Amino acid sequence: MHPTVNIAVRAARAAGDVVLRYHNQIDLLTIENKSINDFVSEVDKTAEKAIINEIKKVFPNHSILAEESGETLGDSDFQWIIDPLDGTTNYLHGFPQYAVSIALLEKQVVTHAVIYDPFKEELFNASKGEGAYLNNERIRVTMSNGLQDTLIGTGFPFRHPEHLDCYLKTFKAIHPHVSGIRRAGSAALDLAYLATGRLDGFWEIGLNSWDIAAGSLLVKEAGGFIGDFSGRDQYLETGNVVAGNADVYKILLKTIHPHLSDELQR
């Protein structure tokens, strides 16, 4: 494991300890509504502080983009992108599908990534050019050809209801060709599951960079492809994501593209 990933793992585990400490005390938490269908609790904030503290011990000059505290300026060539609890809504309902997500960008390229599911004790990690791993075992995307018999992950655009009609059109286009579609509520874990072969493909509208950054590297290092709805690598900026192995990725793009609004095609 790369030394930088070791730091990210230490930070992710520290955050995971915070998350698990409160998972049976949800009714005692103070919950705020940041925006429509977007919640935050003191668990998110405390877990984020734990991550930042671990990173700053070793990399005090690196910049940080964190979901709850915003952006901390520093060396612009090195930026950590942090989601202390991806799947907060799941967590607040006791639904055990959530994770800590940490990625490092070097000159705008994701070079290291960690996604940690503290409830299931699953640690996904990747470094650029060094492969992707789950609990120290190498992982790969599936070898599916076409969409038949595939299991596809997705996410509903709850925070962007203006895209719901468009999303439903893409859902209807994909649905007849696959064996199942799953919406589990954590994009970070969806991408990690794609990297380890539990899903064959994935698409979603309107994610944030901290939802995507770590998972995007896992997918690439596991032999998969990820892009925005035009097949470009601008998904961290647009928040629109399609991913899969080479074949599934191409077919998903082709299937959904005719149903996208002009705004989502840009």
**Nearest to 44, CA basis, from 92, 85, 10, 9:** 85
- Bridge pairing between strands 122-127 and 132-134: antiparallel
**Hey, what are 159's tokens?**
């925070």
Residue 35 carries which side chain, given as an amino acid letter? S
The pLDDT value given to residue 23: 78
Give the C-alpha separation, 88 to 97, whole Å.
9
Task: Give pTM, 2 decimals.
Answer: 0.93
The pLDDT value given to residue 34: 54
- Angle at which helices 209-221 and 187-195 cross, to 10°: 0
Whole-number average pLDDT of the chain: 92
Give the C-alpha separation, 224 to 245, whole Å.
4
- pLDDT tens for 67-114 read 877 778 787 899 999 999 999 889 988 899 999 999 999 999 999 999
Place of tokens 């005692």: 28
Give the C-alpha separation, 160 to 174, whole Å.
20
Paired strand residues for 123: 116
CA distances 260 to 149, 173, 178, 250, 256, Å, are 25, 11, 20, 16, 7
Report residues of the chain scoring pLDDT below 70. Answer: 26-40, 266
**Hey, what are 109's tokens?**
């390229």
Tell me if 112 sits within 8 A of 104, measured CB to CB: yes
Give percent of the chain with pLDDT exceeding 70: 93
User: Regarding the domain with residue range 3-138, which homologous superfamily does it belong to in the CATH classification?
Assistant: Fructose-1,6-Bisphosphatase, subunit A, domain 1 (3.30.540.10)
The pLDDT value given to residue 266: 66
The pLDDT value given to residue 33: 63
Domain ranges of the chain: 3-138, 151-265
> Where does 151-265 sit in CATH, by number?
3.40.190.80
The alpha carbon of 15 is separated from its chain's Cα centroid by a whole number of angstroms, namely: 16
**Hey, what are 103's tokens?**
């990625």
